[in-house]
Amino acid sequence: MAMTASSGVAQGVGSISAGQAERSPFLRTTELLAPYQPAKPLITLSLGEPQHPVPDFVGPVLARHIAEFGRYPLAKGIEPFRRAAASWLTTRFDLPRPIDPESEILVLNGSREGLFFAAITAARYVGPRKGKPAILMPNPFYPAYGAGARAAGCELIYLPTTLANGFLPDLDALDEATLARTVAMFIASPANPQGAVASRDYFTRLKKLADRHGFMILSDECYSEIYTRHAPGSALECAGPDFTNVVAFQSLSKRSNLPGMRVGFAAGDRKFLAAFHELRNVAAPQVPMPLQHVAVAAYSDEAHVEENRRLYRIKFDLADQILGSRYGYARPAGGFCVWLDVSGRGGDEAAAIKLYRDAGVRVIPGSYLSRPQNDGFNPGAGYIRLALVSDSESTAEALHRLVEILD
């Protein structure tokens, strides 16, 4: 039975007023932990900031192109960057056809700003809706989704991602009235924070909904290169020969350990990207050309990415050994986060305080990464998120401390 956005059913969908304030989950965590002092040297697992080494080629490439910091960059990206990104996409994924670097790629100042501006573009690009325009997103979700939807003047509709639905939005829970007023749906695969990966069948079903109701799929794929078993697919693989209604977002932050460089790209539906470019050309931050040249080198090299995966694989092997089946732990299909059920340890806030105060391990409460549905159900409540971004020794120590304190 389909459930409406106003039904307030925990496993259905929920909405929130566009005017309701959004607060950073990291700021909320800082405030939660402020009254306490860690009893042991601090190990931070709350922030998903990769700590692996920066690739060796970064410095030399920047040095060769240092003079280009003296020029304004074009919003669409330099041609070598667009060609490199298109070539990487076409090689990495089983696409219906090669991506056109001239019309189907746009450089981004990191995927976050792209996701934000894409929501605004979708609200303008998609035709009139039957009712108040809405943007759908998984719950928990990346905060940029909500910020973009509010800036676009759309209703935010949260789709709970729980263990029961494989930590992906339940497409069967979307009723016709909700879909008729949808302008875009954000989907993250691998999901943040649970690491779930959408199958080809899932993307195909979502694409059929988007085509039938005329909304955009905004596919956040920035974790696609962090996996320990099978390489995740892309929404673009199921988007048809013109990639209609589908745009994928990529970033070098996770793939290449370059979170501070702020370079990514959007690829897909050329008509949407033309409108996206018009908005970004006057409103979005440009990407310095020397950084785009670094990105060309990054997208042309897989050795550093394979090494990156090897380092994460070591840490997930440690998690397998140390956590076992505690707290509902299961090795995620993608990404570098661990999603632990601490509902039996006093809840997510209490567990975060205890781990920080008694173990010197900083994690983020799951309820801070999500929002309550209409009936008050928060799908992140009772969970904590750990980002396995530190070195393997620190990771092992943090996990041992976690088990000692929570058990």
The pLDDT value recorded for residue 23 is 83
Residue 127: the pLDDT is: 87
Residues 6+ apart with CB under 8 A from 173: 2, 3, 11, 12, 13, 159
Run of H or E residues at 14: strand 14-16
Rounded to the nearest 5°, which phi and psi values hold at 37?
-120, 135
Element (H, E) at 155: strand 155-160
pLDDT tens by residue, the chain, 407 residues: 333 333 333 345 565 443 344 789 999 999 999 999 999 999 999 999 999 999 999 999 999 999 999 999 999 999 999 999 999 999 999 999 999 999 999 999 999 999 999 999 999 999 899 999 999 999 999 999 999 999 999 999 999 999 999 999 999 999 999 999 999 999 999 999 999 999 999 999 999 999 999 999 999 999 999 998 899 999 999 999 999 999 999 999 999 999 999 999 999 999 999 999 999 999 999 999 999 999 999 999 999 999 999 999 999 999 999 999 999 999 999 999 999 999 999 999 999 999 999 999 999 999 999 999 988 999 999 999 999 999 999 999 999 999 999 99
* pLDDT at residue 83, as a whole number: 98
CA atoms within 13 A on the CB side of 261: 26
Helical segments of 181-323, H only: 200-213, 252-255, 270-283, 289-299, 303-323
Q: Are 302 and 55 in contact (CB under 8 A)?
A: no
* One-letter amino acid for residue 341 of the chain: D
In this structure, what token pair is assigned to residue 326? 């505690």
Question: The tokens 């304004």 sit on which residue?
Answer: 72
pTM, two decimals, is 0.94
What is the spatial distance between Cα 101 and Cα 244, in angstroms, rounded to a whole number?
16
Residue 215 in tokens: 């909304």
- 115, 120, 154: which is closest to 250 by C-alpha? 115
CATH homologous superfamily for the domain 21-48+304-406? Aspartate Aminotransferase, domain 1 (3.90.1150.10)
CATH code of the domain made up of 58-301 = 3.40.640.10
Peptide bond into 365 cis (omega under 30): no
Place of tokens 């974790």: 223
Domain ranges of the chain: 21-48+304-406, 58-301
Give whole-number Cα distances, 91 to 86, 148, 202, 235, in Å. 9, 31, 22, 15
**Fold equal for 21-48+304-406 and 58-301:** no
pLDDT computed for residue 14 by the predictor: 61
Compute the CA torsion angle 174, 274, 147, 213 (nearest 10 deg).
-10
Question: What distance in Å separates the CA atoms of residue 6 and residue 23, rounded to the nearest whole number?
Answer: 24
pLDDT score at 6: 36
pLDDT digits (tens, 9 = 90+) for 177-220: 999 999 999 999 999 999 999 999 999 999 999 999 999 999 99
